Amino acid sequence: MPITESPAQVLDCKGLACPMPVIKTAQAIKTIEPGQVLELLATDPGVEPDMKAWTTRTGNELLAIDREGDVFHVFLRRNG
């Protein structure tokens, strides 16, 4: 599903290893409003399974993960 709405915030975690992308995402999502989108940029190869698990646990929504070279673009919607 293409992401048409622009993210409220872009979180650059390129070059950071586990667990930093998860920790920084958890902190950043609290700074946007419910319904808004956070875009995470990460090069950690574990980011896809981590973000699936994290969104399932926290109730936030994983909209899409696009890969561009070594960089994963993860789109997350903050829920209620």
Give the catalytic positions in this structure: 18
Residue 9 makes contact with other proteins by CB under 8 A: no
**Among the residue ranges 4-12, 16-24, 62-70, 71-79, the one whose residues contact other proteins (CB under 8 A):** 16-24
Note whether 34 binds other proteins by CB under 8 A: no
Amino acid 32 reads: I
Residues 6+ apart with CB under 8 A from 65: 47, 48, 51, 72, 73, 74, 75
Residues in contact with other proteins by the rule CB under 8 A: 18-19, 22-23, 25-27, 50, 53-54, 57-58
